[in-house]
Amino acid sequence: MFNSTEATAIPFADDPASYTPSAFDAGPKPPTANPDDPAWGIGSAIFVWIFSLVLMAIIPLLLLLPYASSKGLHTSDPNYVKALADLALGDKTAVLLQVLAILPSHLLTFALIWLVVTRLGKRPFWASIGWRRSGRFEIWLWAGVGLGLFIVGSTIAWLLGSAKPTQLEQIINSSLAARFSISILAVGTAPFVEEFMYRGLLYAPLQKLAGAPIAVFLVLVLFTVIHVPQYWPNVGVIAAVALLSIVLTTVRAYTHRLLPCIIIHLVFNGIQAALLIVEPYAHRALPAPEPVNPTFILLPLLHFIR
């Protein structure tokens, strides 16, 4: 039997007033992105960090071993390891190959960071990592911070520095090709990959888990410790690296964005890259009675592993 009350409860398609939206009508909403509330956890971040260090050890070997074989070194030799180490540190081509290996290491690290941050492409990368502008004069503001940080860091390195050359100084002085390659990496990949890793991938879950102050401290430890073998025994340079990390991570905590950190880091490295390129020609034009201790000792950009 037909019930009129039931009939009136059925909305007509041509009566907009009778239509009520339901869950079935709403399409999938795009995922929201908050750099302080990451979709990834600290476990994933630590895994990527460790994996990046493994890349920095393996990829140089992949380039170095064939070259060593062409120079007459064979794994069957009883002193192969020692001979390989001597070649890696003393041969200009071997040193250059290890420097060039940094590029694929950085690219693979960035690819892994992208996969974790986007959850295999399901979430927006730039919004999730904190790449967001704010204000017309922002670039100039943070560029000025980078310049000031370079001046302060150079002063600290000079006051506390050591006369003994660091590992990175030896690499830079090995050849012009190594010097120019490091200069390009200093601007082209290092500021981006290091900021995505430390102030992006690592900082976000740490501050969510333990708060900003502890996250700043932990990122400082990770960023500084990984550079110690590269700059030992120059305590001044290590102190400058620690200062760089504190400033960058504090800026990330204060602004809740990653873009200011990248600008500061890019300017910081850019000044040093320019000095690296100019320095050999300046020495030729203005010869000094004694070797000049160059400012490139502050390059906190390559996780070069022996």
Confidence bin at 30 (pLDDT 50/70/90): low
Task: Provide the residue range defining the domain that includes 48.
Answer: 39-278+292-298
Structure tokens of 209?
A: 């888990």
The verdict on residue 43 lying in a domain is yes
Q: Specify if 192 maps to a domain.
A: yes
CA distance 274 to 266: 12
Sign of the dihedral through C-alpha 194, 200, 205, 206: positive
Averaged confidence pLDDT in the chain: 83
Q: pLDDT tens digits for 138-173? A: 899 999 999 999 999 999 988 887 667 777 788 888
Range ranked top by mean pLDDT from 17-21, 85-89, 195-199: 195-199
For residue range 36-53, what is the model confidence (pLDDT) as tens digits? 999 999 999 999 999 999
Higher pLDDT, 165 or 97: 97
Checking if the pLDDT of 213 tops 50, the result is: yes
What average pLDDT does range 45-69 have in this prediction?
94
In a domain, 106, yes or no: yes
Whole-number Å distance between alpha carbons of 275 and 273: 5
86: three-class secondary structure by DSSP:
helix
In this prediction, residue 16 carries a pLDDT of: 46
Burial of 277 by CB count in 10 Å (0-12 exposed, 13-18 middle, 19+ buried)? middle
If pLDDT is split at 50, 70 and 90, which confidence band does 294 have?
Answer: very low
Residue closest to 168 by CA, chosen among 276, 53, 51? 276
Predicted pLDDT of residue 39: 92
> Is residue 13, in this structure, part of any structural domain at all?
no
What is the C-alpha separation between 100 and 177, in angstroms, rounded?
10
Angle between helices 235-255 and 212-225 (to 10 degrees): 150
The predicted model scores a pTM of 0.81
**Other residues' Cβ atoms within 10 Å of the Cβ of residue 293:** 14
Assigned domain for 69 exists: yes
Work out how many domains the chain is built from and give that number: 1
Confirm whether 113 is domain-assigned: yes
265 lies in some domain? yes
Compute φ and ψ for 63, nearest 5 degrees: -85, -30
CB 27 within 8 A of CB 120: no
303 within a domain of the structure (yes/no): no
Tokens read off for 257: 């964005």
Mean pLDDT score, 194-209: 96
- What is the per-residue burial (b if ≥16 Cβ within 10 Å, else e) of 102-127? beebbeebbebbeebbbeeeebebee
What is the spatial distance between Cα 168 and Cα 302, in angstroms, rounded to a whole number? Answer: 9
For residue 298, the tally of other CB atoms under 10 A from its CB is: 29
Q: Yes or no: say if 146 and 268 are a contact pair by the CB < 8 Å rule.
A: yes
Question: Tens digits of per-residue pLDDT, 229-260?
Answer: 777 778 888 899 999 999 999 999 999 999 99
pLDDT of res. 165: 73
Worst-scoring range by mean pLDDT, 44-58, 162-176, 279-293?
A: 279-293
